[in-house]
Amino acid sequence: MAAKTGKAKKSIETIAVLTSGGDAPGMNAAIRAVVRRAIANGLKVKGIKKGYQGLLDEEIIEMDNHSVSDTIGRGGTILGTARCLEFHEEEGVKRGAEICKKHGIDGVIVIGGDGSYRGAQALARHGINTVGVPGTIDLDISCTEYTIGFDTAINTAMEAIDKVRDTSTSHERCSVIEVMGRHAGYIALWCGIATGADDLLLPEKYDYDEQRIINNIIDNRKLGKTHHLIINAEGIGHSTSMARRIEAATGIETRATILGYLQRGGNPTCKDRVYATTMGAYAADILTEGKSNRVVCYRNGEFIDDDIEEALAMQKTISDYQYEIAKTIQ
Ligand code: F6P
Protein backbone atom coordinates (compact mmCIF):
# COMPACT_ATOMS: atom_id res chain seq x y z
CA MET A 1 0.00 0.00 0.00
CA ALA A 2 1.38 3.39 -0.93
CA ALA A 3 1.85 5.97 1.83
CA LYS A 4 -1.06 8.37 1.65
CA THR A 5 -0.22 11.09 4.15
CA GLY A 6 -0.05 14.72 3.09
CA LYS A 7 -2.01 17.90 3.18
CA ALA A 8 -5.70 17.84 2.43
CA LYS A 9 -6.84 19.17 -0.92
CA LYS A 10 -8.64 22.49 -0.59
CA SER A 11 -11.99 20.91 -1.49
CA ILE A 12 -11.99 18.49 1.46
CA GLU A 13 -11.75 20.29 4.78
CA THR A 14 -14.16 18.50 7.06
CA ILE A 15 -15.13 14.86 7.11
CA ALA A 16 -17.51 12.83 9.25
CA VAL A 17 -17.53 9.21 10.35
CA LEU A 18 -20.51 7.00 11.14
CA THR A 19 -21.17 3.35 11.95
CA SER A 20 -24.22 1.68 10.45
CA GLY A 21 -26.03 -1.68 10.61
CA GLY A 22 -25.06 -4.35 13.14
CA ASP A 23 -22.20 -3.36 15.43
CA ALA A 24 -18.93 -5.30 15.26
CA PRO A 25 -15.90 -5.49 17.58
CA GLY A 26 -13.15 -3.33 16.10
CA MET A 27 -15.45 -0.55 14.90
CA ASN A 28 -14.02 1.71 17.63
CA ALA A 29 -10.49 0.99 16.46
CA ALA A 30 -11.56 2.07 12.96
CA ILE A 31 -13.28 5.25 14.23
CA ARG A 32 -10.19 6.11 16.26
CA ALA A 33 -7.94 5.66 13.24
CA VAL A 34 -10.22 7.74 11.01
CA VAL A 35 -10.27 10.60 13.51
CA ARG A 36 -6.57 10.65 14.28
CA ARG A 37 -5.36 10.06 10.73
CA ALA A 38 -7.69 12.69 9.25
CA ILE A 39 -6.54 15.23 11.85
CA ALA A 40 -2.92 14.34 11.03
CA ASN A 41 -3.79 14.95 7.37
CA GLY A 42 -5.00 18.45 8.25
CA LEU A 43 -8.76 17.83 8.25
CA LYS A 44 -11.50 18.56 10.77
CA VAL A 45 -13.55 15.55 11.89
CA LYS A 46 -17.12 15.15 13.06
CA GLY A 47 -18.90 12.08 14.36
CA ILE A 48 -22.41 11.18 13.25
CA LYS A 49 -24.22 9.26 15.97
CA LYS A 50 -26.55 6.29 15.31
CA GLY A 51 -25.75 5.80 11.63
CA TYR A 52 -27.86 7.35 8.88
CA GLN A 53 -30.72 7.84 11.35
CA GLY A 54 -28.45 10.09 13.42
CA LEU A 55 -27.54 12.01 10.27
CA LEU A 56 -31.22 12.68 9.53
CA ASP A 57 -31.74 13.64 13.19
CA GLU A 58 -28.63 15.88 13.02
CA GLU A 59 -26.91 14.07 15.87
CA ILE A 60 -23.53 15.37 14.83
CA ILE A 61 -20.64 15.94 17.24
CA GLU A 62 -17.18 17.50 16.96
CA MET A 63 -14.35 14.97 17.31
CA ASP A 64 -10.71 15.46 18.23
CA ASN A 65 -7.84 13.18 19.19
CA HIS A 66 -9.08 13.09 22.76
CA SER A 67 -12.63 11.95 21.81
CA VAL A 68 -11.27 8.55 20.82
CA SER A 69 -8.93 7.98 23.77
CA ASP A 70 -9.18 4.54 25.39
CA THR A 71 -11.41 3.13 22.69
CA ILE A 72 -9.16 0.80 20.66
CA GLY A 73 -9.87 -2.19 22.91
CA ARG A 74 -13.59 -1.59 23.44
CA GLY A 75 -16.32 -3.60 21.74
CA GLY A 76 -19.45 -2.04 20.23
CA THR A 77 -19.31 1.41 18.66
CA ILE A 78 -18.87 4.66 20.60
CA LEU A 79 -20.93 6.43 17.92
CA GLY A 80 -23.87 4.05 18.24
CA THR A 81 -25.51 2.43 15.24
CA ALA A 82 -28.93 1.90 13.70
CA ARG A 83 -30.70 0.53 10.67
CA CYS A 84 -32.48 3.40 8.90
CA LEU A 85 -35.35 2.68 6.50
CA GLU A 86 -35.77 6.36 5.58
CA PHE A 87 -32.31 6.31 4.02
CA HIS A 88 -33.47 3.66 1.53
CA GLU A 89 -35.65 6.39 -0.02
CA GLU A 90 -34.29 9.06 -2.36
CA GLU A 91 -35.96 11.77 -0.27
CA GLY A 92 -34.10 10.61 2.86
CA VAL A 93 -30.73 10.56 1.07
CA LYS A 94 -31.33 14.04 -0.36
CA ARG A 95 -32.10 15.37 3.11
CA GLY A 96 -28.99 13.59 4.47
CA ALA A 97 -26.80 15.28 1.85
CA GLU A 98 -28.33 18.69 2.62
CA ILE A 99 -27.63 18.16 6.34
CA CYS A 100 -24.00 17.28 5.53
CA LYS A 101 -23.66 20.50 3.51
CA LYS A 102 -25.30 22.53 6.29
CA HIS A 103 -22.70 21.18 8.76
CA GLY A 104 -19.83 21.79 6.33
CA ILE A 105 -19.19 18.05 5.89
CA ASP A 106 -17.41 17.40 2.57
CA GLY A 107 -16.92 13.66 2.98
CA VAL A 108 -18.29 10.78 5.04
CA ILE A 109 -16.64 7.51 6.06
CA VAL A 110 -19.25 4.80 6.54
CA ILE A 111 -18.26 1.78 8.62
CA GLY A 112 -20.74 -1.06 8.06
CA GLY A 113 -21.96 -3.83 5.78
CA ASP A 114 -23.02 -3.74 2.14
CA GLY A 115 -26.44 -2.26 3.03
CA SER A 116 -24.57 0.66 4.54
CA TYR A 117 -22.47 0.95 1.35
CA ARG A 118 -25.65 1.58 -0.64
CA GLY A 119 -26.33 4.61 1.58
CA ALA A 120 -22.77 5.83 0.96
CA GLN A 121 -23.20 5.37 -2.77
CA ALA A 122 -26.46 7.32 -2.69
CA LEU A 123 -24.87 10.18 -0.70
CA ALA A 124 -22.04 10.34 -3.25
CA ARG A 125 -24.62 10.89 -6.00
CA HIS A 126 -25.67 14.00 -4.08
CA GLY A 127 -22.17 15.47 -4.03
CA ILE A 128 -20.86 14.16 -0.70
CA ASN A 129 -17.59 12.26 -1.03
CA THR A 130 -17.93 8.85 0.60
CA VAL A 131 -15.71 5.91 1.51
CA GLY A 132 -16.95 2.61 2.95
CA VAL A 133 -15.08 0.49 5.48
CA PRO A 134 -16.24 -3.14 5.87
CA GLY A 135 -17.67 -3.62 9.35
CA THR A 136 -19.66 -6.80 9.97
CA ILE A 137 -19.08 -9.98 11.92
CA ASP A 138 -20.58 -11.97 9.03
CA LEU A 139 -17.66 -11.59 6.55
CA ASP A 140 -20.29 -11.35 3.82
CA ILE A 141 -18.88 -8.45 1.78
CA SER A 142 -17.73 -9.74 -1.58
CA CYS A 143 -14.85 -7.39 -2.36
CA THR A 144 -12.87 -8.12 0.79
CA GLU A 145 -11.37 -11.15 2.51
CA TYR A 146 -11.55 -9.37 5.87
CA THR A 147 -14.38 -7.53 7.62
CA ILE A 148 -14.10 -5.80 10.97
CA GLY A 149 -15.38 -7.99 13.81
CA PHE A 150 -15.29 -11.39 12.13
CA ASP A 151 -12.11 -12.49 13.88
CA THR A 152 -13.43 -11.56 17.32
CA ALA A 153 -16.82 -13.14 16.64
CA ILE A 154 -15.39 -16.49 15.54
CA ASN A 155 -13.06 -16.63 18.53
CA THR A 156 -15.92 -15.79 20.91
CA ALA A 157 -18.15 -18.40 19.29
CA MET A 158 -15.38 -21.00 19.20
CA GLU A 159 -14.76 -20.65 22.95
CA ALA A 160 -18.48 -20.96 23.66
CA ILE A 161 -18.78 -24.05 21.42
CA ASP A 162 -15.78 -25.69 23.15
CA LYS A 163 -17.65 -25.26 26.44
CA VAL A 164 -20.88 -26.75 25.12
CA ARG A 165 -18.86 -29.62 23.71
CA ASP A 166 -17.48 -30.47 27.17
CA THR A 167 -20.91 -30.89 28.70
CA SER A 168 -22.22 -32.58 25.58
CA THR A 169 -19.48 -35.21 25.83
CA SER A 170 -20.06 -35.77 29.56
CA HIS A 171 -23.74 -36.51 28.96
CA GLU A 172 -23.19 -38.29 25.65
CA ARG A 173 -25.59 -35.87 24.02
CA CYS A 174 -26.02 -34.43 20.61
CA SER A 175 -25.78 -30.63 20.38
CA VAL A 176 -27.19 -28.24 17.80
CA ILE A 177 -25.36 -24.93 18.19
CA GLU A 178 -26.65 -21.94 16.27
CA VAL A 179 -24.20 -19.22 15.30
CA MET A 180 -24.91 -15.86 13.63
CA GLY A 181 -25.08 -15.34 9.89
CA ARG A 182 -28.49 -14.63 8.39
CA HIS A 183 -27.33 -14.95 4.79
CA ALA A 184 -23.78 -16.18 5.18
CA GLY A 185 -22.20 -19.30 6.62
CA TYR A 186 -18.66 -18.02 7.25
CA ILE A 187 -18.97 -17.96 11.05
CA ALA A 188 -20.47 -21.47 10.95
CA LEU A 189 -17.76 -22.74 8.59
CA TRP A 190 -14.85 -21.35 10.61
CA CYS A 191 -16.29 -22.37 13.98
CA GLY A 192 -17.23 -25.78 12.63
CA ILE A 193 -13.68 -26.45 11.44
CA ALA A 194 -12.14 -24.99 14.61
CA THR A 195 -14.22 -27.13 16.96
CA GLY A 196 -14.23 -30.34 14.92
CA ALA A 197 -18.00 -30.28 14.44
CA ASP A 198 -19.66 -33.37 12.99
CA ASP A 199 -22.14 -31.50 10.79
CA LEU A 200 -22.04 -27.99 9.34
CA LEU A 201 -25.25 -26.39 8.15
CA LEU A 202 -24.52 -23.33 6.01
CA PRO A 203 -27.18 -21.28 4.17
CA GLU A 204 -25.08 -21.50 0.98
CA LYS A 205 -24.76 -25.30 1.10
CA TYR A 206 -27.47 -26.94 3.17
CA ASP A 207 -29.80 -29.25 1.23
CA TYR A 208 -32.33 -29.65 4.08
CA ASP A 209 -31.75 -33.41 4.14
CA GLU A 210 -32.25 -33.94 7.88
CA GLN A 211 -32.34 -37.73 7.44
CA ARG A 212 -28.70 -37.58 6.35
CA ILE A 213 -27.78 -35.84 9.63
CA ILE A 214 -29.78 -38.40 11.61
CA ASN A 215 -28.00 -41.28 9.81
CA ASN A 216 -24.67 -39.58 10.47
CA ILE A 217 -25.43 -39.36 14.21
CA ILE A 218 -26.48 -43.03 14.38
CA ASP A 219 -23.38 -44.17 12.41
CA ASN A 220 -21.05 -42.11 14.61
CA ARG A 221 -22.62 -43.56 17.76
CA LYS A 222 -22.02 -47.08 16.43
CA LEU A 223 -18.38 -46.09 15.87
CA GLY A 224 -18.14 -45.15 19.55
CA LYS A 225 -18.41 -41.35 19.33
CA THR A 226 -19.78 -40.02 22.63
CA HIS A 227 -21.15 -36.75 21.33
CA HIS A 228 -22.31 -35.19 18.09
CA LEU A 229 -21.86 -31.50 17.36
CA ILE A 230 -23.93 -29.77 14.71
CA ILE A 231 -23.11 -26.13 13.89
CA ASN A 232 -26.15 -24.48 12.42
CA ALA A 233 -26.06 -21.01 10.85
CA GLU A 234 -28.76 -18.52 11.82
CA GLY A 235 -29.86 -18.37 8.18
CA ILE A 236 -31.13 -21.95 8.51
CA GLY A 237 -32.28 -21.48 12.11
CA HIS A 238 -35.00 -23.53 13.84
CA SER A 239 -32.33 -25.14 16.03
CA THR A 240 -34.71 -25.97 18.89
CA SER A 241 -37.21 -27.84 16.74
CA MET A 242 -34.37 -29.51 14.84
CA ALA A 243 -32.96 -30.77 18.17
CA ARG A 244 -36.39 -32.14 19.11
CA ARG A 245 -36.73 -34.00 15.80
CA ILE A 246 -33.21 -35.43 16.05
CA GLU A 247 -33.85 -36.68 19.59
CA ALA A 248 -37.14 -38.31 18.51
CA ALA A 249 -35.49 -40.02 15.51
CA THR A 250 -32.28 -41.18 17.20
CA GLY A 251 -33.30 -41.69 20.82
CA ILE A 252 -30.19 -39.66 21.76
CA GLU A 253 -30.67 -36.70 24.09
CA THR A 254 -30.27 -33.57 21.98
CA ARG A 255 -30.00 -29.94 23.11
CA ALA A 256 -30.02 -26.69 21.17
CA THR A 257 -27.88 -23.69 22.11
CA ILE A 258 -28.37 -20.39 20.31
CA LEU A 259 -25.28 -18.23 20.83
CA GLY A 260 -26.98 -15.02 19.61
CA TYR A 261 -25.73 -11.53 20.34
CA LEU A 262 -22.82 -12.53 22.56
CA GLN A 263 -21.01 -13.06 19.24
CA ARG A 264 -21.31 -9.36 18.42
CA GLY A 265 -19.84 -8.03 21.65
CA GLY A 266 -16.57 -8.15 23.54
CA ASN A 267 -13.10 -6.70 23.24
CA PRO A 268 -11.74 -6.99 19.70
CA THR A 269 -8.91 -9.42 19.03
CA CYS A 270 -5.46 -8.15 18.11
CA LYS A 271 -6.18 -8.83 14.42
CA ASP A 272 -9.44 -6.85 14.51
CA ARG A 273 -7.72 -3.91 16.23
CA VAL A 274 -4.84 -3.83 13.76
CA TYR A 275 -6.82 -4.41 10.54
CA ALA A 276 -9.60 -2.01 11.61
CA THR A 277 -7.00 0.63 12.42
CA THR A 278 -5.32 0.17 9.03
CA MET A 279 -8.63 0.34 7.17
CA GLY A 280 -9.84 3.39 9.10
CA ALA A 281 -6.59 5.25 8.39
CA TYR A 282 -6.67 4.15 4.75
CA ALA A 283 -10.22 5.50 4.39
CA ALA A 284 -9.17 8.84 5.87
CA ASP A 285 -6.24 8.98 3.46
CA ILE A 286 -8.23 8.38 0.30
CA LEU A 287 -10.94 10.80 1.39
CA THR A 288 -8.18 13.36 2.02
CA GLU A 289 -6.99 12.78 -1.56
CA GLY A 290 -10.48 13.70 -2.78
CA LYS A 291 -11.52 10.16 -3.78
CA SER A 292 -15.21 9.27 -3.49
CA ASN A 293 -17.56 6.33 -3.90
CA ARG A 294 -14.80 3.92 -2.82
CA VAL A 295 -14.62 1.02 -0.38
CA VAL A 296 -11.57 -0.17 1.51
CA CYS A 297 -10.84 -3.87 1.02
CA TYR A 298 -8.29 -6.47 2.03
CA ARG A 299 -7.41 -8.85 -0.80
CA ASN A 300 -4.42 -11.10 -1.50
CA GLY A 301 -2.54 -9.75 1.52
CA GLU A 302 -3.00 -6.08 0.64
CA PHE A 303 -5.20 -3.18 1.71
CA ILE A 304 -6.69 -1.63 -1.42
CA ASP A 305 -9.73 0.37 -2.49
CA ASP A 306 -12.44 -0.43 -5.03
CA ASP A 307 -15.30 1.43 -6.66
CA ILE A 308 -18.44 0.88 -4.52
CA GLU A 309 -20.50 -0.02 -7.57
CA GLU A 310 -18.05 -2.75 -8.62
CA ALA A 311 -17.63 -3.94 -5.04
CA LEU A 312 -21.38 -4.38 -4.60
CA ALA A 313 -21.65 -6.30 -7.87
CA MET A 314 -19.05 -8.92 -6.86
CA GLN A 315 -20.25 -12.38 -5.84
CA LYS A 316 -19.00 -14.07 -2.71
CA THR A 317 -19.15 -17.81 -2.25
CA ILE A 318 -18.09 -20.25 0.43
CA SER A 319 -14.95 -22.09 -0.65
CA ASP A 320 -16.01 -25.55 -1.89
CA TYR A 321 -12.56 -26.85 -1.03
CA GLN A 322 -12.68 -25.67 2.59
CA TYR A 323 -16.23 -26.97 3.00
CA GLU A 324 -15.18 -30.33 1.56
CA ILE A 325 -12.24 -30.51 3.96
CA ALA A 326 -14.52 -29.72 6.91
CA LYS A 327 -16.83 -32.58 5.91
CA THR A 328 -14.13 -35.18 5.23
CA ILE A 329 -12.22 -34.74 8.48
CA GLN A 330 -15.21 -34.79 10.84
O1 F6P B 1 -24.24 -8.04 12.08
C2 F6P B 1 -24.66 -9.12 11.32
C3 F6P B 1 -25.73 -9.87 12.04
O4 F6P B 1 -25.22 -10.21 13.27
C5 F6P B 1 -26.31 -11.08 11.37
O6 F6P B 1 -25.55 -12.23 11.50
C7 F6P B 1 -27.66 -11.16 12.01
O8 F6P B 1 -28.56 -11.84 11.22
C9 F6P B 1 -28.02 -9.74 12.15
O10 F6P B 1 -26.84 -9.03 12.27
C11 F6P B 1 -28.94 -9.46 13.29
O12 F6P B 1 -29.00 -8.08 13.51
P13 F6P B 1 -30.07 -7.30 14.35
O14 F6P B 1 -30.89 -8.28 15.11
O15 F6P B 1 -29.24 -6.41 15.23
O16 F6P B 1 -30.86 -6.50 13.38
Residue 24 has pLDDT above 60, yes or no: yes
Residue 18 has pLDDT above 90, yes or no: yes
Q: What is the pLDDT of residue 314?
A: 84
CATH 3.40.50.460 domain span(s) along the chain: 153-264
- Separation CA 110–CA 101 (nearest Å): 17
Nearest ligand 1 atom to alpha carbon 83: 16
Q: How far is the CA of 19 from the centre of ligand 1 (A)?
A: 14
Beta bridge partners of 254: 174
- Separation CA 318–CA 230 (nearest Å): 18
Q: What is the mean pLDDT of residues 218-245?
A: 94
Catalytic residue among 23, 106, 138, 306: 138
Fold assignment, 14-149+268-313: Rossmann fold (3.40.50)
- What residue's CA is closest to ligand 1, atom 10? 22
- What residue's CA is closest to ligand 1, atom 5? 181
Q: Give me the chain's average pLDDT, please.
A: 94
Q: How far is the CA of 184 from the centre of ligand 1 (A)?
A: 11
Q: What is the mean pLDDT of residues 73-91?
A: 94
What is the pLDDT confidence band of residue 3, given thresholds at 50, 70 and 90? Answer: very low
Nearest ligand 1 atom to alpha carbon 24: 1
- What residue's CA is closest to ligand 1, atom 11? 22
pTM greater than 0.85: yes
Nearest-CA neighbor of 199 among 328, 86, 288?
328
Nearest ligand 1 atom to alpha carbon 23: 1
Q: How far is the CA of 214 from the centre of ligand 1 (A)?
A: 29
The predicted-structure confidence for 252-276, as pLDDT tens digits, reads as follows 999 999 999 999 999 999 999 999 9
Q: How far is the CA of 148 from the centre of ligand 1 (A)?
A: 14
Nearest ligand 1 atom to alpha carbon 261: 4
The predicted-structure confidence for 194-231, as pLDDT tens digits, reads as follows 999 999 999 999 889 999 999 999 999 999 998 899 99
Q: What is the mean pLDDT of residues 10-28?
A: 93
* 138 included as an active-site residue: yes
Residue 2 has pLDDT above 60, yes or no: no
Whether the Cβ atoms of residue 132 and residue 323 lie closer than 8 Å to each other: no
CATH 3.40.50.450 domain span(s) along the chain: 14-149+268-313
Q: What is the mean pLDDT of residues 224-250?
A: 95
Residues 6+ apart with CB under 8 A from 31: 17, 19, 47, 68, 71, 77, 78, 79, 111, 280
- More confident site: 178 or 9: 178
The predicted-structure confidence for 94-153, as pLDDT tens digits, reads as follows 999 999 999 999 999 999 998 999 999 999 999 999 999 999 999 999 999 999 999 999
Fold assignment, 153-264: Rossmann fold (3.40.50)
The whole-angstrom distance between residue 152's C-alpha and the CA centroid of its chain comes to 10
What is the pLDDT confidence band of residue 9, given thresholds at 50, 70 and 90? Answer: very low
- How much of the chain, in percent, has pLDDT values that exceed 70? 97
Q: How far is the CA of 136 from the centre of ligand 1 (A)?
A: 9
Find the residues whose C-beta lies inside 6 A of ligand 1.
22, 136-138, 180-182, 234, 264
**DSSP strand pairing (107-112 vs 199-201):** unpaired
Q: State the Cα angle at 61 between 50 and 64, rounded to 5°.
A: 120
Nearest ligand 1 atom to alpha carbon 181: 6
Q: What is the pLDDT of residue 80?
A: 98
Mutate to test the pocket of ligand 1, among 186, 264, 272 (most ligand atoms within 8 A of CB): 264
Q: What is the mean pLDDT of residues 298-321?
A: 91
- Separation CA 20–CA 54 (nearest Å): 10
Q: How far is the CA of 11 from the centre of ligand 1 (A)?
A: 37
Q: What is the pLDDT of residue 203?
A: 93
